[in-house]
Chains A and B, each alone.
Chain A
Amino acid sequence: MEKSINGNIINGQSILLNEVPKLGIGQFQNEIEKCVESIHGHCTTYYAFKSEKTLQLIACLANDETHELKVISHEIDTSVKNQQLALTKEHFAFHVYEREIAENYGVDFIWHPWLKSLRFPHDAAHTMAISEYPFYRIDSEELHEVGVGPIHAGVIEPGHFRFICNGEMVLHLEIQLGWQHRGVETMMIQKPTLLQKNIIAESIAGDTAIGHGLAFAQLIEGLSDIHAPKLLEIERSIALELERIAIHTGDLSALCTDVAYQLGSSVFGALRTPVINFMQAWCGNRFGKGLIRPGGSHYPFNEELRSKLTAMLDDFELRFNTIAKRTFNLDSVLGRFENIGRITEKQVRMFGGVGMVARMAGIQRDIRRSHPTGGYIHLPYEPVVLNTGDVMARASLRRLEVEKSIAYIRDLLVIWKESKKQMIASPPMDIKMKSNAFNLSMTEGWRGEICHSAITNSKGEIIHYKVKDPSLHNWMGLALALRDLEISDFPINNKSFDLSYCGHDL
């Protein structure tokens, strides 16, 4: 077990829960503020762990430049008072964390601007129904409200969007989520077997089965003494990049659809197919469900798959480059992409944006580079960063990340080919985990930073599980992007963010 000093940890490597420093409230909040006020710092997760008499607030602080990861905590004695000074007042990125803790445990965050429900969970500390959500309102005869959802026009997940409009212009957009809440974190504890937990992890967001599956696998391996062999780590990174290529390509198709560019819509749409069909040829499922398992793999990568993947990528790249070049030079497309839905770096820092949303607004925030695991240690990854913060940046980032991931996979394949072949074990049915341990595991899924965290009891059973999908913070980006836009620009903006409803609602 890694020795922890001052709460410094390494992504995916467990420590004992009692090695997580318990700080007084002043020092706890100081440490957090010091981190998030620095240009390279952000808080990757902040949640509450309830034991018999106390509520332990746990925060994980990351520095993207120094690669430091630090976990600290503060204990509230709930039998005395269930109250805390809100960090949100000064640091808006904490609004979702504090709303979640308030909703789940009834903590009263003093000076929090509005502790409204985050997802109406089954075990909420309040009794409000999802239909009673208190929207922000402006009383004016000149303004009107437009409500969309929870069921949308397309074949997508449910969420409610409430616009306050002045004529066609959007003054304010509020996004109400929670409709997709399935009790993921409760099920993670209640379902006893490792396989059940693994399948739940793959279903947190089915479009990110590899990303969440990998965060889970790393977490479990870190909680036991399992070290994935290098070959397996390389394979997992290949899978994660393939997932990114597939979804980014599908999103480029959808963006073309939304600006009525039929050829781009069809061609990008068709291009996604060979990528997910390769995934199926690898593991029997187009979304990679079943591929990522802690401690081994049922589908070790092999020479036949390598040549198939190489051929697929060559063909894909040729076709992708042709259609991308045309799309991004077409006035009718650029006119609908450029300067639409712009958000600034300052705004993204304020709401704690991660992943693509950070990288399209000038912030280099990427777990593959800042806190790499597995394949990203063997082969360093240099992120793509754009800075215009508009639909164009979000579309271009997808194009550039697809190109980058193709090149990266090719390099991984070289390493794979040159590595000494070793048997990759079949994944164990059960894994003995350490007692009273804490672990935190992060991966950079196609949307951004995925963070899984777990705590075990004296028998090594998981008694607390916390998931943070990148969408948790990024939804605020969409809300801000819509300000001062015409309401008809909503679809293109929504697609350009393509955030997860189920990943947020859990």
Chain B
Amino acid sequence: MLAELKILNQHGKQYIPDIRKAEVPAPFRGLPEITKSSKGALLEGLCPVGAIDVSVQSIDIGLCTFCGECAHRAPEMIRFTNNHRMATNDRNALIVTPRKAESIELNPGLVREEIQGVFGRSLKLRQVSAGGDNSAELELGACGNVNFDIGRFGIEFVASPRHADGVVITGPISKNMSEALAICYEAIAEPKLLILAGTDAISGGVFAGSPALDRSFLDAHKVDLYVPGNPPHPLTFINGILDLIQSKK
């Protein structure tokens, strides 16, 4: 008993009191900011995934692997802020331009009618890793730990698609997992959410174009939430989900 008390005393309070206001300290590479665009093609061929328009008019954070190389090579043009709020349901909103420096936001107009009515209070998710490198999976797991405690919002990952309200995909979607993913998605009752967590899931990341991938699943289904990051930070994920299910038209 004394041993337990000692452990609890050392453990203290670990939870983040207000997830909505929590910040990730610098030098966390969150939302990039274009501070000065250039007409010349200064960064041509630099970005490993072609996320940067060469004249630095835009950065697509759905492609970005957050390696930070551009900010190291051209710090006067690009910097990565510690802003973790990057999840949105609008694929076009992931394209950061010099004019759009504030947070990326969810577009309530794009949220399907049934989502708000059905998923507002509790949400059970099935996670499918399809070529994920286990970093995004670990961060999704961390969402449920004593620090982030996503369970406080009634959100949790469940063992069966039959219990789930939606699927969270990580990884660039390998050909070998494409059938299992489709079967899993099919097994979830309507209405259901489709969430892409991490750059690999959103665009294929550094594996885009690999002959070992099959991303045709995404052509056939509407994505409800994009969560950028490599891997996505738990705060990006949790706040993104809350934005989605608490959105008001």
Q: Chain A interface (Cβ within 8 Å of chain B)? A: 120-123, 130-131, 150-151, 153-158, 178-183, 186-187, 190-191, 193, 195-196, 199-200, 203-207, 209, 250, 263, 266-267, 269-270, 273, 280-281, 283-287, 289-290, 298, 318-319, 322-323, 325-326, 426, 429, 500-502, 505
Contact = CB atoms under 8 A, between A and B. Distances in A.
B211 A122 contact: yes
Interface in B215-249: 230-231, 233
A429 B45 CA distance: 11
A157 to B, nearest CB: 5
Interface in B130-180: 130-142, 145-147, 157, 159-160, 171-172, 174-177, 179-180
Interface string B193-207: 000000010000111
B184 interface: yes
Interface in B60-78: 65-69, 72-73
6 contacts: A178-B176, A191-B206, A207-B134, A250-B138, A266-B145, A289-B230
A196 B11 contact: no
A200 B67 CA distance: 11
B63 to A, nearest CB: 12
A199 B211 contact: no
Contacts of A158: 128-130, 177, 180
B127 to A, nearest CB: 5
B131 A502 contact: yes
Contacts of B92: none
A180 B174 contact: yes
B213 A270 contact: no
Nearest to B4: A263
Contacts of A319: 10-11
Contacts of A206: 132-136, 138, 231
A199 B206 CA distance: 7
B177 A186 contact: no
A122 B175 CA distance: 8
Which 3 A-B pairs give the minimum distances between C-beta atoms? A206-B135, A206-B133, A183-B212
Given A181-B174, A322-B10, A157 B179 contact: no
A180 B45 contact: no
A131 B175 CA distance: 12
Chain B CB within 10 Å — which of A151, A191, A426 has the most? A151
Interface residues of B, number: 67
Nearest to A203: B133
B163 to A, nearest CB: 10
B141 A155 contact: yes
Contacts of B117: none
A500 B131 CA distance: 12
Contact of A121 (B45, B209, B212): B212
A502 B133 contact: yes
Nearest to A212: B133
B85 interface: no
B176 A203 contact: no
B206 A326 contact: no
Chain B CB within 10 Å — which of A179, A209, A266, A286 has the most? A179
B48 interface: yes
B134 A186 contact: no
A404 to B, nearest CB: 22
A182 B145 contact: no
Contact of B206 (A196, A283, A505): A196
B213 A182 contact: yes
B211 A183 contact: yes
A8 B103 CA distance: 56
Interface in B1-60: 3-4, 6-8, 10-11, 14, 24-25, 27-29, 45-46, 48
A263 B7 contact: yes
Contacts of A285: 28-29, 66, 230
A157 B176 contact: no
B45 to A, nearest CB: 7
B137 A156 contact: yes
B131 A181 contact: yes
Contacts of A209: 135
Given A182-B213, A270-B11, A284 B80 contact: yes
A203 B45 contact: no
Contacts of B25: 280-281
A284 B29 contact: yes
B122 interface: no
Contacts of B159: 153-154
Contact of A179 (B46, B72, B133, B180): B180
Chain A CB within 10 Å — which of B7, B29, B146, B206 has the most? B206
A320 to B, nearest CB: 10
A502 B131 CA distance: 7
Nearest to A266: B146
A38 B158 CA distance: 48
A130 B177 CA distance: 9
Given A158-B130, A186-B212, A319-B10, A130 B176 contact: yes
Given A179-B174, A209-B135, A298-B68, 20 more contacts: A121-B212, A130-B176, A150-B177, A150-B180, A186-B210, A186-B211, A199-B65, A206-B138, A266-B11, A269-B146, A270-B14, A270-B146, A280-B24, A280-B28, A284-B29, A287-B138, A298-B72, A322-B10, A326-B4, A502-B133
B134 A290 contact: no
B206 A187 contact: yes
B131 A180 contact: yes
Given A179-B177, A206-B133, A286 B233 contact: yes
Contacts of B67: 195, 199, 289-290
A501 B130 CA distance: 11
Contacts of A195: 46, 48, 67, 69
Chain B CB within 10 Å — which of A205, A283, A502 has the most? A502
A268 to B, nearest CB: 10
A169 B128 CA distance: 29
A277 to B, nearest CB: 8
A187 B207 contact: yes
B132 A131 contact: no
